[in-house]
Amino acid sequence: MFSRIASRLHAETNPLYSIRAQIESRGGQILDLVSGNPNQHGIFFPQEPLEASLIRGARQARCYHPDSLGQRPAREAISSYYRNQGLAIPPENILLTPGTSISYWYCFKLLADEGEEILCPRPSYPLFDYIAEMSGVRMVSYPMDEARAWAIDLDRLEASISTGTRAIILISPHNPTGHVASLDEIHGLAEIARRHDLAIISDEVFSEFLFESQVLPRAAASAAPLVFTLNGFSKMFALPGLKLGWMTVSGQSDQVKDAIRSLELISDTFLPVNEMVQAAVPAIFEEGGTFLRFYAREIAQRWMEARRILSRCAHFTFVEPGGGFYVTLKLQSIEEEPAAQAILATDHLLAHPGYFYDIDPDHLVLSFIQEPEIIRNGFLRLSAALEHVSRCP
């Protein structure tokens, strides 16, 4: 009755989440140390200006006149955002989407035929496997080097390219390592893309959350032949429920023109972006500047608090993230999966084992955007739980 893709998407519940379900079925409370949803951690866009912008948006969207690329005022606001970042991205080269996951799907369908390849970083995000499966493309990983602060291994990346490779995914700041690609890495990636005539899909959803640098090096500012830059309101303005994302297209003019023409047709097939939300985009950018500055400072402060506590634990080391919401812990003489299951079953703390993200053993992945009291309580409990695990045979 179902397609081959549908049958491949079915999977048994992961053992870690089976333990979680058992605890919750008994009424137990779990402290989630992985969630990256800012709303779950006390961070919200100011309610009054948000409501006002959505009310105005609802009025403007009363008469339905869709635009395949997205409403022009929204694209102009996004163009202005990039202009303030030093990038000239005209509204004609911007496409609105219902979020970054759909942006990836658009890119995969645009760039690769059935069975062709997209290079993605390892560690990676589990969502890619499902999007690739539904797109009919193969994900081929290129390594990031933990010994070099999770730097991109450009030589091994280039060695991974085959005649079936169509694009390279760059995530910066990276999820889950927090690595921010340097200018040298960006230039090296662009040169590889130029030599092999590949597109770059640049995921910048954590672009506003930098800890060491004031400016994010961007693939769109490089000499790459074709770059799709992905971002959205979910992380930028702590508005995941608005489901508003975008992609910009930059590079060689003929390739950009062809890409936009095809993307416009793909988008026109679905017209998936809420018109009221589109109409509210300019006001959210205008009203959100003060909030965004507070939000970025708050995330940085929460990381510093997490860092202070994590640095005291003898059972793991970590590379300090340059940005984003996550940190990856390298366990010392502790196996990741039994550890993650034990601290969940015994201490009701949820952390992800590294293999969820295709990281070599043994690691745990945490988010550090919890409220400060939860960071102090939860991370101290995690350290104590790992101490107990280390003593068990």
Give the model confidence (pLDDT) of 119-137 as tens digits.
999 999 888 888 999 999 9
Mean pLDDT score, 266-274? 96
Mean pLDDT score, 2-20? 83
Output the pLDDT for position 268. 97
CA 143 – CA 284 distance, rounded (Å): 37
CA dihedral 205, 100, 235, 305 (to 10 degrees): -60
pLDDT at residue 25 greater than cutoff 90: yes
62: which residues sit within 8 A by CB, 6+ positions away? none
Give the model confidence (pLDDT) of 333-376 as tens digits.
999 999 999 999 999 999 999 999 999 999 999 999 999 999 99
DSSP state for residue 319 in the 8-state scheme: P
Helices (H), the chain: 4-9, 15-25, 47-60, 72-84, 100-111, 127-135, 154-159, 183-196, 233-236, 253-270, 275-287, 289-310, 336-347, 372-391
Q: Which domains does the chain have, with CATH numbers?
A: 4-44+290-391 (3.90.1150.10), 47-286 (3.40.640.10)
SS (H, E, C) 129-154: HHHHHHHCCEEEEEEEEHHHCCEECH
Question: Are the C-beta atoms of residues 150 and 144 closer than 8 Å to each other?
Answer: yes
Output the pLDDT for position 257. 98
pLDDT at residue 48 greater than cutoff 70: yes
Question: Are the C-beta atoms of residues 237 and 207 closer than 8 Å to each other?
Answer: no
pLDDT at residue 15 greater than cutoff 70: yes
Give the model confidence (pLDDT) of 274-320 as tens digits.
999 999 999 999 999 999 999 999 999 999 999 999 999 999 999 99
pLDDT at residue 11 greater than cutoff 70: no
Phi-psi region for residue 209, left (φ > 0), alpha (ψ -120 to 50) or beta? beta
Four-residue CA torsion sign, 296, 297, 302, 307: positive
DSSP state for residue 312 in the 8-state scheme: T
Give the angle 24-25-31 at the CA atoms, nearest 5°: 5
| Nearest by Cα to 137 from 104, 122, 115 | 115
Give the model confidence (pLDDT) of 124-177 as tens digits.
988 888 899 999 999 999 999 999 999 999 999 999 999 999 999 999 999 999
Model confidence at 28, pLDDT cuts 50, 70, 90, reads very high
pTM for this model (two decimals):
0.97
| Nearest by Cα to 205 from 227, 237, 177, 181 | 237
Q: How crowded is residue 291: how many other Cβ atoms within 10 Å of its Cβ?
A: 18
Output the pLDDT for position 393. 65
